[in-house]
């Protein structure tokens, strides 16, 4: 048997002692409650973020104003979406499930920022922000609500007037569907296009005095023609005044004025002398506006200086009833013919004091019915909505 060296014996004793000490390190047979149960150690992790999809995608350009914006949370729960244009306008929308969809159109030539907040699948908020830019059109279409804020006569329709033609039926139809009128008291009426620039809402019959009218035209992002887009919403109101109506009998040379159904004034007048270009038009016209003093120049209706029928004269107390140059105005030079003969170039001539009264007591929107002429007033020559029967006017709607 081999002998053992003293050094080997010492090493064996040290190993044995170490094992004994390791086995009794707690001082008892129970495990240390603070000791790790294994060799590996756990570490805290951040919950996975929500996954969000936005259309149009961030960085997109030339987005058409009528495109829908959608925000969809693929993984997680949708909390909030805001869409704000560079001018501060906000796009509203609706939520269904985990998807937000825009409910209004966008302005052209505008940068929009979409900010989305969602909760991840294991908790924790995620905020996503993207931007895109809408199409820059050749033409930004403009329009206005005529007589906004005015007190008007019982014949005045609601009028939305575009500065250029709404060229296609599909554009007129879409715009008509977007606009609205509210009245108090409730009034039956219909939208119709007088021409391709004038969208009007006419009551079935003349307004009830005192009616309040509110107009809303939220047509930002609507198209009016080839690469023509609207960039603003508009709203307005008007109030219907007293019921005043006038009748001009061209054949008997007389004007009568009624208020609330009762005749209050009667005046001798002289209307347009016979002739293709001078005879006063028959039909239901509406006062368009008033101008205290003006110079009437036949060159504005195509009769230039030096030509037969040319005139240029200063007039007072001018009440306009057509766009084609027909007014009721003071004409001291024709007083001798008033009540007996038609001598004007198409206007209604009155004595100065009579014209002053009519001017003072007229409102834009007062109906003026002209009779006794073979020359018919065409609807587009003025505010011609009352030249249509109710059934005919309803057919002027793009939705008819």
Predicted local distance difference test score (pLDDT) of residue 382: 98
Predicted local distance difference test score (pLDDT) of residue 44: 55
Neighbours of 74 (CB within 10 A): 10
Predicted local distance difference test score (pLDDT) of residue 19: 32
In the set 135, 253, 345, 347, the catalytic residue is 347
- Collapsing DSSP to helix, strand or coil, 62 comes out as coil
Active site residue 347: yes
End-to-end CA distance of the chain, in Å?
Answer: 122
What string of H, E and C letters represents the secondary structure of 80-101? EEEEEECCCCEECEEEECCEEE
Neighbours of 149 (CB within 10 A): 9
| Residue 393, CA distances (Å) to 63, 167, 199, 350 in order | 38, 20, 12, 33
**Measured distance CA(358)–CA(260) in Å, rounded:** 16
Predicted local distance difference test score (pLDDT) of residue 134: 98
Active site residue 24: no
Phi, psi angle pair for 299, to nearest 5°:
-65, -20
- Please give the chain's pLDDT, 400 residues, in tens: 334 333 333 333 333 333 333 333 333 344 444 444 444 444 557 888 999 999 999 999 999 999 999 999 999 999 999 999 999 999 999 999 999 999 999 999 999 999 999 999 988 899 999 999 999 999 999 999 999 999 999 999 999 999 999 999 999 999 999 999 999 999 999 999 999 999 999 999 999 999 999 999 999 999 999 999 999 999 999 999 999 999 999 999 999 999 999 999 999 999 999 998 899 999 999 999 999 999 998 887 778 888 877 888 999 999 999 999 999 999 999 999 999 999 999 999 999 999 999 999 999 999 999 999 999 999 999 999 999 999 999 999 999 9
Predicted local distance difference test score (pLDDT) of residue 43: 52
How do the domains of the chain map onto residue ranges?
A: 51-133, 139-241, 244-384
Q: What is the helix, strand, coil percentage profile of the chain, to 5?
A: 15, 40, 45
**Measured distance CA(236)–CA(156) in Å, rounded:** 14
Q: What number does CATH give the domain 139-241? A: 2.60.40.3710
Where is 192: in which H helix or E strand?
strand 189-195
Q: What is the pTM of this model?
A: 0.84
In the set 135, 253, 329, 345, the catalytic residue is 329
Sign of CA dihedral 344, 378, 323, 361: positive
Predicted local distance difference test score (pLDDT) of residue 345: 92
Neighbours of 53 (CB within 10 A): 13
Predicted local distance difference test score (pLDDT) of residue 9: 33
Matching CATH topology for 139-241 and 244-384?
no
- Point out which residues pair with 152 in neighbouring strands: 240
* Triad 46, 48, 53: Cα angle to 5°: 145
**Measured distance CA(111)–CA(88) in Å, rounded:** 10
Q: What number does CATH give the domain 244-384? A: 2.40.440.10
Topology (CATH) of 51-133: Immunoglobulin-like (2.60.40)
Which ranges of the chain would DSSP assign to H, the alpha helix? 6-23, 169-178, 352-360, 390-394
């Amino acid at each position: 048997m081999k002998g053992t060296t003293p050094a080997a014996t010492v090493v064996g004793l040290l190993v044995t002692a170490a094992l004994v000490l390791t086995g009794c390190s707690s001082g008892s047979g129970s495990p240390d409650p603070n000791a790790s149960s294994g060799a590996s150690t756990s570490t805290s992790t951040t919950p996975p973020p929500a996954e969000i999809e936005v259309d149009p995608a961030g960085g997109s350009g030339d987005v058409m104003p009528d495109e829908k914006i959608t925000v969809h949370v693929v993984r997680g729960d949708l909390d909030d979406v805001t869409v704000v244009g560079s001018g501060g306008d906000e796009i509203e929308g609706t939520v269904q499930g985990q998807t937000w969809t825009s409910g209004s159109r966008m302005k052209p030539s505008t940068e929009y920022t979409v900010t989305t907040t969602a909760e991840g699948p294991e908790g924790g908020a995620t905020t996503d922000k993207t931007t895109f830019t809408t199409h820059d059109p050749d033409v930004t279409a403009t329009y206005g609500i005529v007589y906004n804020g005015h007190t008007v006569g019982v014949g005045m329709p609601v009028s939305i007037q575009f500065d250029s033609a709404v060229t296609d039926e599909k554009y007129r139809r879409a715009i008509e569907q977007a606009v609205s009128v509210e009245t108090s008291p409730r009034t039956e009426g219909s939208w119709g296009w007088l021409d391709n620039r004038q969208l009007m809402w006419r009551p079935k019959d003349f307004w009830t005095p005192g009616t309040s009218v509110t107009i809303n035209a939220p047509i930002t992002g609507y198209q009016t023609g080839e690469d023509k887009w609207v960039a603003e919403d508009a709203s307005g109101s008007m109030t219907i005044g007293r019921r005043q109506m006038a009748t001009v009998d061209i054949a008997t040379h007389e004007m009568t004025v009624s208020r609330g159904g009762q005749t209050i004034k009667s005046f001798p007048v002289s209307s347009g002398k016979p002739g293709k270009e001078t005879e006063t038009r028959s039909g239901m016209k509406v006062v368009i506006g008033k101008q205290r003093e003006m110079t009437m120049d036949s060159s504005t209706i195509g009769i230039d200086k030096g030509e037969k029928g040319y005139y240029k004269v200063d007039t007072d107390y001018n009440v306009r009833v057509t766009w084609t140059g027909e007014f009721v105005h003071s004409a001291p030079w024709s007083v001798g013919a008033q009540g007996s003969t038609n001598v004007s170039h198409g206007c209604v001539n009155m004595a100065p004091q009579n014209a002053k009264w009519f001017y003072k007591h007229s409102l834009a929107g007062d109906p003026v019915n002209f009779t006794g002429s073979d020359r018919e007033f065409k609807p587009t020559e003025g505010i011609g909505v009352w030249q249509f029967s109710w059934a005919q006017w309803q057919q002027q709607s793009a939705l008819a």
